[in-house]
Every structure is written in structure tokens, then in C-alpha cells.
Chain A
Amino acid sequence: MNPPESLPGPLAGLRILELVDETGQFCGKLLGDLGADVVKIEPPGGEHSRRIGPFLDDIPDPERSLSFWYYNTSKRGITLNLETTDGRQLFLRLAIAADVIVETFRPGVLTSLGLGYESLSKENPRLIMCALTPFGQTGPWRDYASSDLLHMAAGGQMASCGYDESDVPNAPPIAPGGGNAWHMGCHFAYIAIMAALVSRSVSGQGQYIDTSIHEACALTTESAIANYIYRGEVLRRQTGRHHAAGPTPRTQFRAKDGNYVCALVAGRLNPRYIGQLADLLDSYGMAGDLKDAKYQDPAVIAANTSHIIDDLVASFIASLPAEEVYHAAQQRGFTWGAVRAPEVLLDDPHLHDRGFWKEVEHPELGRSFIYPGEAAIFNGSPWRISRRAPLIGEHNTEIFCDELGLSRAELAVLIENRVI
């Protein structure tokens, strides 16, 4: 059940300072959407991630990056130049009152500015500071440059994703899209921060966390590591299905409308399943010989696996639109799904039932837009987007004047001097 809108989120009362580039902003979004007061600190003029497209109406502008919009919901935004003494002093005043700092500077940078955990925690021993970097704070690769694609290569994602030779000859290993290296790093960073917060809620002590995106990715290939460690196997890439030590039957079938269906059939073919499959196919007049009594013999099933999958299931799916196959199969208990382009999700009634889509106001534009919402429904403290991403320095007055007590005149001087 959806909770009342008036309840605070589960992280209400926490103050997070976010000093991150495009690699860490999803972590701050998670914290913010879950109710924490996330203050994003950008360099004067705005963080570089504002320059990543696509842009509103395709007009490039740091206030129109949809990528920035998406990953910075539920945050407030201020600008601060940490390379100036004034900037560092203001940051120290914010750090004293902060619960968590998330930062993605290269290893050593904050310490060289006098803003490392050791000095900050002297003033604020409850402080939790999470560094999220491509390779961590130590080791031979710690200063190496990275990108989403680089992490998907080194982390093992690409070694597992690609095509059957019969589908795409000489295909390269494929890095799935969407910027998921950053997601993987941010999920683990969020877990580490929350563990430190739970610990602090008992002990009163903060701590320093060194999170590595490379390690997060290297952990995210399911059984690939176990296959190697326990059996010495290196797995092969296959079209639209699991990596495997040897070829496995296909699970992705083209439907009548040109879309694909993910139908996990192989490995489940026993007499009972065949009976259900025959009923499903028969309801569309597509059962072929599958209702024949011979298929109650497991040996006959095994000998006809290719016929069942590549002839009967493939023909059935080819005769219908993908969405129809998906729902007809699921309604009968089959764990199948349509391979959808993301935009199709806007019409998914299940997501509407869950209140998933959120209308987020952009008052400066006089418009509001639909955003994807939350992964889970918390019935006692809602996970929800509280506001659109901040404009550059949007909350400078709120934070520096109302909270830290600078006068408007002082703020003006600091802006003139590119401190703020």
C-alpha cells in the first residue's frame, strides 16, 4: 500500500554533502529521494555533468541536461570553489554539521586541500565520508582514468555480453548501455553509507569509506566468477541470454510485430511443463504435435528439445505481438517477458497501479515532466522524488545566508570573487 504523502522519508533529518561528478550523482539521488537533505556542491558555473545530453528540446545548456535532471532529483544545490581559502572555510562550516559527505575526487585531492577525513572528523567525529572512485584509494590502478565503457570492460560485463556467431559473425563483446557502471558503484556506495549510518545510530561514531566502482562491477556478473573459481570455466557470450560454458538453447524469439520475447523454456522441459505449454499454444491453435501423449515421456522430450523450442515455441511467438505473448504466458504462470523499448513502459498499467510515474514540476519553465519513480514502496516512510534537480547555485542564499549567516552583501562579494 502506498503511504500517505505527508509522511517524511526514511532518511529524513540527515544532511548529506555531495561533491561528485557523473559517477556519483545516482547515490545522492537515492539518498535524496529517500528523504535525506542532500546539498549538492558544484564549482561556480556548475558541475561538468550538466554538459551531458540529451538536452531539453535539444538545446544544449547546463540547466537543460536531462541526464543531470534525472540523477539530481531531491537535492538542493550550491556553488563553492574549494580551491579558494574562503571556499574551504565555508565548506568546513558545512562539514561540521553534516552527517555524510559523498565525494568522487581523485584519490588524495581533498586531503591536499586540507579537507580529508582526518581533519574533518576531528571537528565532527560523527561524520561519515564515502569516497567513490573508479578504482579505490589504493593500488596500482588508483590514478587510472575511466569511463562507463572502461568499467564494463574491466569489470567483466563485456566478456559476458554479446552474440551467437550465427546471429552476428565476429561480434565484439558488448557493453550494455545506460551508464550502468555508475549505477553499480552507487548501489554499493549507498549500502556502505547506510551500514555506517546504522552503526553510528548505535555507536555515535562516524567513519571513512573507500568504495571502488571497478570492484562493484567485478562483483556483478552473477556466476561467472564461481564458474571460474570452482570449475576453471571461462564462459562464452550468447545472444540475449546467459553466458555459458557450452551452447545453450535460445531464449529470445522474434514476435509478429518485430519485437522480441524472452521465453525461458530450456531447462524446464518436464512432462508437467509440456502440458501447460501445450495448453498455452493450443489456446491460439498453435500446439502442433505438443498435445501428443508421447511428450509425457521425459526421454521423448529430451530428444525433441530443438523441435519444441525452435519450431513450436518460436512459431507461436512469431504469430503474435510480443506484448500479447507476454501477458498470455504470464497469466498462465510462465515466466516470460516482452523485450520492450523503455518508452513502452509509460503504458504499463502495473506501474501505474504502483504510482510509479511522478510528475515533477520545473517552475522556472512553467512546466512539469514525468519521471520514473522508486524501486520499492515503503509503507511507513515514503521513497519519493521531492523536487527537480537544482539550478546552478539555486540554494546559495538559503544555505550561505539563512543557514551560515552570511549577509547578502558578503554573498555578492564571494560570487564576484568566484568563491561561490
Chain B
Amino acid sequence: MSQPRALANIRVVDFSWVRAGPWATRWLGALGADIIKIEWPENERGRLPSTTTPQTLEVNLNTSGNFADTNVNKKSLSLNVRTAKGLEIVKRLIAISDLVIENFSSRVLQNWGLGYQELCNIKPDIVYVSMSGYGHTGRHHHYTTFGPVAQAVSGLTYISGLPDKPPAGWGWSYMNDTGGMYGAMCALTGLYHRNMTGRGQHIDLSQMVASVPLVGPALLDYTVNGRGTFRAGYPPGNRAHWPGTPLVNNYRGPTVAPHNAYRTSPGEYNDWCVIVCHSDDEWQRLVEVMDAPSWAASPKFATVIGRLQHQQELDEQIEAWSMTLGKYELTERCQAAGIRAMPVQSAEDRVEHDPQLRYREMYLPIEHPALGTYKVQNAPFKLSETPASNHLPSPLIGQHTQEIVEGLLGYSHEELRAGFADGTFWPTKRARFPYMEEMLR
């Protein structure tokens, strides 16, 4: 790697687990920070259970595909922080680090003796980002979240779905991904502030609270206009407005039609496209792309109000046409004419069929010591001078224990061996992986 890295010389002590925290440090690692992931196999969450292990491999701590994608660009130190010796070692590591980040529930680090005041005693300008479900402040700080719970409690689940149906919500932990984004955002903001002022701080991030600003305009419609979202026609599915209900903005953009998902050929599970017309002009261009069918010439479709009033018929007619085309062909025809259209893309579509993601090298292979060679996801931003990259595969658990303990912290090889023997670096009753035996030679 010849180019300099944005976060060169930044060291991160990463206690995070499951998804949101690791997703945050993944990006700090891609930007060049040295991420040291502190793990302990007896209470590991993220590597196991795994539903993403390749069918040909045994499920174990090193074979989760999702963990591998979530934890590129990191090193792993297996360490029992709940012992005096383990705590002493992690304090030595913190003393030479810039950032401590964790996503445990709210009192865990404090109970370990690693609360913010103690972190400051160890490293006065430390930046500490805690990413608990409800934050460290507030009466419900002890409540816990997974992504779906943060989404439910914050209103994000409610705003997804068809009217008069149960909420469709989000089909994954959007707030693990996005909570991770906020973790990385807070970490970088804290590091920048420290570089400019010499002062660290504690950043008390909450996954649940971070969800709430994502429903901002709906909240303002309530606090300013007194209009809640508990109303007829809301949420309006993929439409900007649900036919037959009052014309009220749905907080996604302009109220227009067409604005919907339509089936495409050959009608399989993910054969759908979306089409949106933001103006009469865009609509007329769509009419031309559809070969100017007679139904589309009706004056009732000539205006946006007309198209909204007759949206059901409009959508049925558009779908009769969209069913004649594949979703990529439809997209290209529409976009060539300046019409907003896109295919609904599954993961397979994105990895295999999306020409833009392929051109931008979104998925590039990396070799992993236990999994083999698989594609991992790349950054959505290209920095001209300090590009992000996936330069390290996800670590095996404890893979870098020797490198960190002896190389970075300066303990002797005998001390490493003693730590394995007394359960500091690996549970004494648990079988060691072959690479650990190598370390102990």
C-alpha cells in the first residue's frame, strides 16, 4: 500500500461485539487505523451462532461469513479482561491507544474498572465512544436493544409498510448498520476534536436515540402542525400517497404519481422495478417509452393531481407494460429517456448483475485463512489521497495475541506462555486452535 492512510497512527481498543460496534470499527480500519479487537471465546457474540458459514465448512469461531465481512481490517487479541492480569494488560494497551470503543450494555465497562474516569487516568486524552442500546444517560439506560427493537421503539419500524396492515418494518437490523455508522462518525469527530484541542472526551451514543433523528420531518409535522402519523393512508407503501386518503406529505419527497414498485418479466420473486415521475414532463417521456398506449393519452393522466386521483388504474396499466420487460432492460430504456427507474436488486443482483457496482469495484476478493477466498464489501467513498481499502482479512480469534502482547506491549515470550497456561489469553479447558500452538513454540 503505497498511498498514505487517513487514520495512520491511530490505535483503537475495540471491545465491540455482535454487529453495530464491529461495523463502526470496520470503517476506521479501512481508513487505516490499527484496530485491536479484544475477544473472549466464552462470551463471544458475533462469531457464533453463524448462519453464514459456507456449507462446506464446519461452523466454528472462525468460519462465519458475516463476521468475516464485518471485521475486515482488524487484529484480534484474545484476553480475559475479567481477571486482574487481563485487566492490567488491557490497561497497558489503552495507555498507548487513541480510542476506546464498545457496545456493551451501559454499566459493563465501569464494572470492569474501565469507566471513563479510569480511562482518563490511564490515557488523559483518550476518546471513548460507548454504543449501548439506550446510552449511559437516562432512566432506561439499562434497557437493551437489538437492531429491530431500536427500530421499533424509535418509530422507524412504524413508517415502513402498507396502510391498514401490520408494519413491514425493516428486514434486517438497519440500526446495527446505522448504529455502526454513528459509532464511526462519533469516533472520527472525537479524534478530530482531540487533534485540534488536545482533549479527549466520552461520547455517549445510544442506538435507540440515534434512530429518532431519522424520522425528523414526521416528528416536526407533529410538533409544529400537530399532525401525527397514526392516520389513514400512512404509511403509503412504496407510493408517495395512498389513493382515497387525504393528500398529506409522506416524508419521503414530493407527492407524485407514478411512484411505485411494478412487476417485471419473468415474474420471479425479485422481478420488480420502481418507477417515479417527478413532473409532467417525466411522465410524458414515460408514455413515449411505453410506445404511447391509448390509455395513457387520457386527460385524467395528464396532470399530477389526475395521476394521484387515478393512481390505482395508472399503476395497473404501467405494470401491464413493465411485465413485458426484464428489470434491467426496463431500467436502461427508462434512464436513457431521462426517467427515474431502477431494478429491485437482491444481494445476488448487486454482486453479480449490477454494472455500476461492478465498475466501481464494490466487491473484491480477499483471502481469509479459514474461509478461503471470498468477496468483501468495499467503501462507498473514494478519497483521492488516502483511499479506504480492505487490507487485512477478518482475524481468526486470538490470531494476533502474540504480535500484540510481545510485539506491541513488550511482554516476554515466557509471559505469553504463562498467560495461556493460566487462562489469561485462552480458557485453559478449551481446545486451542493450531495457530495458537504455533505462538507458544
Residue of A nearest to B381 (CB): A192
Cβ A340 vs Cβ B152 within 8 A: yes
Cβ B181 vs Cβ A1 within 8 A: no
| The one of A67, A209, A350, A354 that contacts B251, using a Cβ cutoff of 8 Å | A67
Cβ B252 vs Cβ A179 within 8 A: yes
Residues in A whose Cβ lies below 8 Å from that of B237 = 172, 174
Chain B 186-221 near chain A by CB (<8 Å), digits 1 or 0: 101111110111011111111001101111111111
A240 to B174, CA, bound (A): 12
Quote the shortest CB–CB distance from A10 to chain B (angstroms).
Answer: 4
Interface residues on A, range: 35 or more
Cβ B172 vs Cβ A369 within 8 A: no
Chain A 137-168 near chain B by CB (<8 Å), digits 1 or 0: 01111101111111111111111111100011
Residues in A whose Cβ lies below 8 Å from that of B144 = 330, 333, 335
**Cβ of A77 under 8 Å from chain B:** no
Known: A149-B253, A240-B166. 6 other contacts (CB 8 A): A153-B345, A176-B169, A177-B236, A184-B181, A189-B381, A242-B148
| The one of B7, B193, B218, B250 that contacts A381, using a Cβ cutoff of 8 Å | B193
**Cβ of A91 under 8 Å from chain B:** no
**Cβ of A238 under 8 Å from chain B:** yes
Cβ A191 vs Cβ B188 within 8 A: yes
**Cβ of B303 under 8 Å from chain A:** no
| The one of A174, A201, A215, A235 that contacts B192, using a Cβ cutoff of 8 Å | A201
Quote the shortest CB–CB distance from A22 to chain B (angstroms).
Answer: 7
**Cβ of B259 under 8 Å from chain A:** yes
Quote the shortest CB–CB distance from A18 to chain B (angstroms).
Answer: 17
Cβ B137 vs Cβ A1 within 8 A: yes
Cβ A380 vs Cβ B201 within 8 A: yes
**Cβ of B362 under 8 Å from chain A:** yes
Cβ A10 vs Cβ B4 within 8 A: no
Cβ A177 vs Cβ B51 within 8 A: no
Interface residues on B, range: 35 or more
Cβ B360 vs Cβ A139 within 8 A: yes
Quote the shortest CB–CB distance from B221 to chain A (angstroms).
Answer: 5
> Which B327-347 residues have a C-beta within 8 angstroms of A?
335, 338-347
Chain B 233-257 near chain A by CB (<8 Å), digits 1 or 0: 0011110000000001111111100
| The one of A51, A54, A160, A218 that contacts B225, using a Cβ cutoff of 8 Å | A54
A340 to B152, CA, bound (A): 6
Residues in B whose Cβ lies below 8 Å from that of A173 = 261, 270, 272, 344
**Cβ of A342 under 8 Å from chain B:** yes
Residues in A whose Cβ lies below 8 Å from that of B249 = 52-54, 67
Residues in B whose Cβ lies below 8 Å from that of A351 = 138, 209, 212
Quote the shortest CB–CB distance from B257 to chain A (angstroms).
Answer: 12
Cβ A230 vs Cβ B165 within 8 A: no
Residue of A nearest to B153 (CB): A337
**Cβ of B95 under 8 Å from chain A:** no
Chain B 340-374 near chain A by CB (<8 Å), digits 1 or 0: 11111111111100111101101100000001001
Quote the shortest CB–CB distance from B2 to chain A (angstroms).
Answer: 15
> Which A296-350 residues have a C-beta within 8 angstroms of B?
326, 330, 333, 335-346, 349-350
Cβ A172 vs Cβ B261 within 8 A: yes
Residues in A whose Cβ lies below 8 Å from that of B138 = 350-351, 353-354
Residues in A whose Cβ lies below 8 Å from that of B7 = 195, 198-199
**Cβ of B228 under 8 Å from chain A:** yes
A371 to B219, CA, bound (A): 8
Q: Could you write out 12 A-B pairs with CB less than 8 Å apart?
A: A159-B347, A163-B162, A167-B165, A173-B344, A174-B162, A215-B378, A220-B174, A228-B351, A229-B351, A335-B145, A342-B218, A351-B209
Residue of A nearest to B5 (CB): A199
A130 to B380, CA, bound (A): 12
Residues in A whose Cβ lies below 8 Å from that of B27 = 191
**Cβ of B278 under 8 Å from chain A:** yes
**Cβ of B223 under 8 Å from chain A:** yes
SS class of chain A's interface: helix, strand, loop or mixed?
Answer: mixed
Quote the shortest CB–CB distance from B254 to chain A (angstroms).
Answer: 6
Cβ A342 vs Cβ B149 within 8 A: no
Q: Which of B213, B347, B380 has the most CB of A within 10 A?
A: B380
B62-70, B83-91, B414-422: which lies at the A interface?
B62-70
Cβ A235 vs Cβ B189 within 8 A: no
Residues in A whose Cβ lies below 8 Å from that of B385 = 199, 205, 207
Cβ A187 vs Cβ B185 within 8 A: yes
Q: Which of A171, A187, A234 has the most CB of B within 10 A?
A: A187
Cβ B359 vs Cβ A138 within 8 A: yes
| The one of B209, B342, B382 that contacts A154, using a Cβ cutoff of 8 Å | B342
Quote the shortest CB–CB distance from A54 to chain B (angstroms).
Answer: 4
Quote the shortest CB–CB distance from A347 to chain B (angstroms).
Answer: 11
Cβ A262 vs Cβ B162 within 8 A: no
Cβ A227 vs Cβ B52 within 8 A: yes
Cβ A13 vs Cβ B224 within 8 A: no
Cβ B347 vs Cβ A153 within 8 A: no
**Cβ of B410 under 8 Å from chain A:** no
Residue of A nearest to B116 (CB): A379
Quote the shortest CB–CB distance from B268 to chain A (angstroms).
Answer: 10
**Cβ of A111 under 8 Å from chain B:** no
**Cβ of B167 under 8 Å from chain A:** yes
Q: Which 3 A-B pairs have the closest CB atoms?
A: A230-B65, A380-B201, A215-B380
Cβ B224 vs Cβ A163 within 8 A: no
**Cβ of B15 under 8 Å from chain A:** no
**Cβ of A237 under 8 Å from chain B:** yes
Given contact pairs A145-B339, A161-B168, A375-B206, A176 touches B65 in the complex (Cβ within 8 A): no
Residues in B whose Cβ lies below 8 Å from that of A228 = 346-348, 351
A175 to B159, CA, bound (A): 10
**Cβ of A356 under 8 Å from chain B:** yes
**Cβ of B326 under 8 Å from chain A:** no
Cβ A219 vs Cβ B65 within 8 A: no
Residue of A nearest to B135 (CB): A354
> Which A208-253 residues have a C-beta within 8 angstroms of B?
208-216, 218-231, 234-243, 245, 251-252
Residues in B whose Cβ lies below 8 Å from that of A189 = 381
A13 to B193, CA, bound (A): 10
A133 to B235, CA, bound (A): 27
A149 to B182, CA, bound (A): 23
A398 to B289, CA, bound (A): 49
Given contact pairs A168-B165, A346-B222, A351-B209, A264 touches B148 in the complex (Cβ within 8 A): yes
Residues in A whose Cβ lies below 8 Å from that of B182 = 187, 375-376
